[in-house]
Structure 1
Amino acid sequence: MAMTQESGIQYEPVAEIGGGAYGTVYKARDKQSGQFVALKSVRVQTDQEGLPLSTVREVALLRRLEQFDHPNIVKLMDVCATLRTDQETKVTLVFEHVDQDLKTYLEKAPPPGLPVSRIKDLMRQLLCGLSFLHSHRVLHRDLKPENILVTSRGQVKLADFGLARIYSCHMALTPVVVTLWYRSPEVLLQSTYATPVDIWSTGCIFAEMFRCKPLFCGESEVDQLTKIFSVIGLPSEDEWPTDVTLSRQNFCPQSPQPITDSVPEISEEGADLLLKMLTFDPLRRISALSAQEHRFFSDQPDNS
Structure 2
Amino acid sequence: MAQGASFPYEEVAEIGGGAYGTVYKARDTESGKFVALKSVRVQTDQDGLPISTVREVALLKRLEQFDHPNVVRLMDVCAIQRTDSETKVTLVFEHVDQDLKTYLEKAPAPGLSQDRIKDLMRQLLCGLGFLHSNRVMHRDLKPENVLVTSGGQVKLADFGLARIYSCHMALTPVVVTLWYRPPEVLLGSSYATPVDIWSTGCIFAEMFRRKPLFCGESEMDQLGKIFQVIGLPSEEEWPKDVTVTRKQFLPPNHPPITDFVPELSEQGAELLLEMLTFDPLLRISALNALEHEYLKEEETADTEESTRESEAVP
Confirm or deny that 1:213 pairs with 2:211: yes
In structure 1, what is the equivalent of residue 38 of structure 2?
A: 40
Is the Cα contact below 8 Å between 2:38 and 2:92 reproduced in 1?
A: yes
In structure 2, what is the equivalent of residue 246 of structure 1?
A: 244
Is the Cα contact below 8 Å between 1:273 and 1:294 reproduced in 2?
A: yes
Of 135, 138, 153 in structure 2, the residue corresponding to residue 137 of structure 1 is: 135
In structure 2, what is the equivalent of residue 159 of structure 1?
A: 157
Once residues 8 and 262 of structure 1 are traced to their aligned partners in structure 2, the CA distance between those partners, rounded to angstroms, is: 53
In structure 2, what is the equivalent of residue 295 of structure 1?
A: 293
Distance change (3 Å), C-alpha of 1:205 and 1:7: farther
Which moves more between the two structures, 199-208 or 16-25?
A: 16-25
Of 13, 32, 43 in structure 1, the residue corresponding to residue 11 of structure 2 is: 13
Which ranges of structure 1 fall in alignment gaps of 5 or more residues?
none
Confirm or deny that 1:227 pairs with 2:239: no
Is the Cα contact below 8 Å between 1:75 and 1:95 reproduced in 2?
A: yes
Q: Deviations over 1:114-152 (max 9, x none)?
A: 000000000000000000000001000000000100000
Q: Secondary structure at 2:171's aligned position in 1?
A: coil
Q: Deviations over 1:75-108 (max 9, x none)?
A: 0000000111111111000000000000000001
- The CA deviation at 1:255 is 4.4
In structure 2, what is the equivalent of residue 52 of structure 1?
A: 50
Matched ranges for 1:49-198 at <5 A: 49-171=47-169, 173-198=171-196
Once residues 198 and 137 of structure 1 are traced to their aligned partners in structure 2, the CA distance between those partners, rounded to angstroms, is: 12
Is the Cα contact below 8 Å between 1:232 and 1:255 reproduced in 2?
A: no
Once residues 273 and 193 of structure 2 are traced to their aligned partners in structure 1, the CA distance between those partners, rounded to angstroms, is: 17
Is the Cα contact below 8 Å between 1:47 and 1:87 reproduced in 2?
A: yes
TM-score by length of structure 2 reads: 0.93
Q: Deviations over 1:168-195 (max 9, x none)?
A: 0233723121100000000111100000
Q: Percent of pairs identical after alignment?
A: 80
- The CA deviation at 1:300 is 4.2
Once residues 60 and 239 of structure 1 are traced to their aligned partners in structure 2, the CA distance between those partners, rounded to angstroms, is: 37
Q: Deviations over 1:48-100 (max 9, x none)?
A: 11100100000000000000000000000000001111111110000000000
- The CA deviation at 1:113 is 0.6
Which AA in structure 2 matches 1:173?
L
Which AA in structure 2 matches 1:259?
I
- The CA deviation at 1:206 is 0.1
Q: Report the count of equivalent residues.
A: 299
Once residues 294 and 253 of structure 2 are traced to their aligned partners in structure 1, the CA distance between those partners, rounded to angstroms, is: 26
Is the Cα contact below 8 Å between 2:194 and 2:280 reproduced in 1?
A: yes
Is the Cα contact below 8 Å between 1:143 and 1:202 reproduced in 2?
A: yes
Q: Deviations over 1:204-223 (max 9, x none)?
A: 00000000100000011000
In structure 1, what is the equivalent of residue 308 of structure 2?
A: none
Q: Secondary structure at 1:24's aligned position in 2?
A: strand
Is the Cα contact below 8 Å between 1:21 and 1:174 reproduced in 2?
A: no
- Larger RCO (CA under 8 A, 6+ residues apart): 2
Which AA in structure 2 matches 1:143?
L
Q: Secondary structure at 1:198's aligned position in 2?
A: helix
Which ranges of structure 2 fall in alignment gaps of 5 or more residues?
300-314
What is the RMSD computed on CA atoms of the aligned residues? 1.1
Once residues 203 and 138 of structure 1 are traced to their aligned partners in structure 2, the CA distance between those partners, rounded to angstroms, is: 19
Once residues 241 and 113 of structure 2 are traced to their aligned partners in structure 1, the CA distance between those partners, rounded to angstroms, is: 42
- The CA deviation at 1:256 is 3.9
Which AA in structure 1 matches 2:73?
K
Which AA in structure 1 matches 2:33?
Q
Once residues 22 and 288 of structure 2 are traced to their aligned partners in structure 1, the CA distance between those partners, rounded to angstroms, is: 36
Q: Secondary structure at 1:100's aligned position in 2?
A: coil
Once residues 225 and 172 of structure 1 are traced to their aligned partners in structure 2, the CA distance between those partners, rounded to angstroms, is: 28
